[in-house]
């Protein structure tokens, strides 16, 4: 008989392996001072927070949310035209700028790093434009140096946390004669420390399922396990012509340091577009002169939502069309519980149609054609909700919840 195979590498790829399991997750906007973080936050969330041209303008993190753009949601709203409409939202936090030495307390370092620990994913903003009007904390524009600075500071902070967690575990074990340090603990911590000492983020390491479980349990506050989307802030001219001398170098650096999505954008261009929001003719003229450039903000929001391993299902009817945010892989009863705890407690079944099927088959608000085509399904407790499902839950609660 062949020996049993050891459990293979954890099948969930990248940073999603280490993510917090909950429906309300946040993306934090991170970078050096004066790279465009607060201006981007303003554009994303349509707010007017301070965005002055000097380091540490942002001290306490600003938090808001932005609607996730989705043609499916808009189509359902147009069909039903209900009085209440609720899109999905991405929670976004604007975090003050890091500087070299932040892990040792430089600038407002430790406070900022704790703010990064509190979010679940990172929008890493990098400056790739020259300007005499916008100062750079290091007096020159060099995106690769800036990327190295941020990653080094985050790795240093994580290494400090890992070493403290290891010391605590050793102390706890010494207090109890019946406890001992496991081989998995030792090997995992050594692997993590070795990566961080080389300024490599933990999210890009190769870990088996036991190691992932241990990291989630013992090192749940690591910063470098979080997913990252790299946002490169260009001048309006470079954004419109889709060229910049730094883009290829930034892309190469990202691929050599754990990978991740790169989204070029321009605060300068986006701000001009936003200023014309109430001037249809001016907006059209500006876009006509922009060589086919379109806003990068919707892509940022959608990708940030995906990086947090979030999806949503729809409820749709005469009174409301709504997106309900859940973690990918959520079962039907727990999805029902997002609407109301009674829905989960008294779950009977979920009546489900995929959005694509409803869009292709329905000629009205009725489910008649969908049912006739066999695309209207009844699912039980083991059903894994898919992104874009349109669901009606059946439930029955005859007794009060246990206290």
Residue ranges of the domains in the chain? 14-306, 309-395
The pLDDT of residue 18 is: 82
14-306 and 309-395 share one fold: no
Q: What are the structure tokens assigned to 263, written together?
A: 């989204």
Percent of the chain past pLDDT 90, that is, above it, reads 71
What is the average per-residue pLDDT within 369-376? Answer: 96
> Contact at 8 Å (CB) between 186 and 82?
no
Q: Any known ligand binding at 53? A: no
Round to whole Å and give the CA distance between 131 and 110. 29
Superfamily name and number for 14-306: P-loop containing nucleotide triphosphate hydrolases (3.40.50.300)
**In whole numbers, what is the pLDDT of the chain averaged over residues?**
87
Q: Does the annotation flag 231 for ligand binding?
A: no
Residue 182 is assigned to a ligand binding site = no
Q: Quote the pLDDT of residue 200.
A: 92
Mention the CATH class of domain 309-395: alpha beta
**Model confidence pLDDT, tens digit, residues 121-131:** 999 999 999 87
Q: Is 36 annotated as a binding residue?
A: yes
Is 39 annotated in a binding site? The answer is yes
- The long-range contacts involving 203-207, CB below 8 angstroms and separated by at least 24 positions, are 203/14, 203/15, 203/17, 203/18, 203/227, 203/228, 203/258, 204/14, 204/257, 204/258, 204/259, 206/9, 207/9, 207/10, 207/17
Is 338's pLDDT higher than 50?
A: yes
Q: Give yes or no for a contact between 347 and 379, defined as CB atoms under 8 angstroms apart.
A: no
Pairing of β 261-265 and β 228-233: parallel
């Amino acid at each position: 008989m062949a020996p049993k195979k050891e459990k293979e590498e954890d099948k969930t790829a990248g940073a999603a392996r280490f993510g917090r399991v909950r429906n309300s997750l946040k993306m934090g906007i991170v970078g050096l001072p004066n790279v465009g973080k607060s201006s981007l936050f303003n554009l994303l969330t349509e707010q007017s927070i301070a965005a002055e041209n000097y380091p540490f303008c942002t001290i306490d993190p600003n938090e808001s949310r932005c609607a996730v753009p989705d043609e499916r949601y808009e189509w359902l709203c147009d069909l039903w035209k209900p009085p209440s409409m609720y899109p999905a939202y991405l929670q976004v936090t604007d975090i003050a700028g890091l500087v070299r030495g932040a892990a040792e307390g430089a600038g407002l370092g430790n406070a900022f790093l704790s703010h990064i620990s509190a979010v679940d994913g990172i929008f890493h903003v990098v400056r790739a434009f020259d300007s005499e009007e916008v100062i750079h904390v290091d007096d020159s524009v060099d995106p690769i140096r800036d990327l190295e600075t941020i990653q080094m500071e985050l790795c240093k902070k994580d290494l400090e946390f890992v070493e403290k967690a290891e010391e605590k575990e050793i102390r706890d074990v010494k207090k109890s004669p019946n406890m001992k340090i496991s081989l998995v603990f030792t090997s995992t911590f050594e692997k993590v420390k070795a990566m961080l000492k080389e300024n490599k983020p933990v999210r890009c390491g190769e870990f088996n399922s036991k190691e992932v479980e241990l990291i989630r349990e013992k090192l749940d506050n690591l910063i470098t396990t979080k997913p990252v989307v790299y946002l490169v802030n260009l001048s309006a001219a470079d954004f419109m012509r889709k060229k910049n001398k730094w883009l290829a170098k930034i892309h190469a650096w990202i691929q050599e340091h754990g990978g991740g999505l790169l989204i070029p954008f321009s605060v300068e261009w986006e701000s001009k577009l936003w200023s014309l929001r109430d001037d249809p003719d001016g907006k059209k003229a500006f876009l006509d002169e922009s060589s086919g450039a379109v806003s990068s903000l919707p892509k940022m929001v959608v990708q940030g939502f995906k990086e947090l391993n979030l999806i949503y299902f729809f409820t749709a009817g005469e009174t409301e069309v709504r997106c309900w945010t859940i973690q990918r892989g959520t079962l039907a009863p727990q999805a029902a519980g997002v609407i109301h705890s009674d829905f989960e407690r008294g779950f009977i079944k979920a009546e489900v149609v995929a959005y694509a099927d409803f869009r292709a088959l329905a000629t009205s608000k009725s489910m008649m054609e969908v049912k006739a085509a066999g695309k209207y399904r009844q699912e039980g407790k083991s059903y894994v909700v898919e992104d874009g499902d349109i669901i009606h839950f059946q439930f029955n609660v005859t007794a009060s919840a246990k206290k």
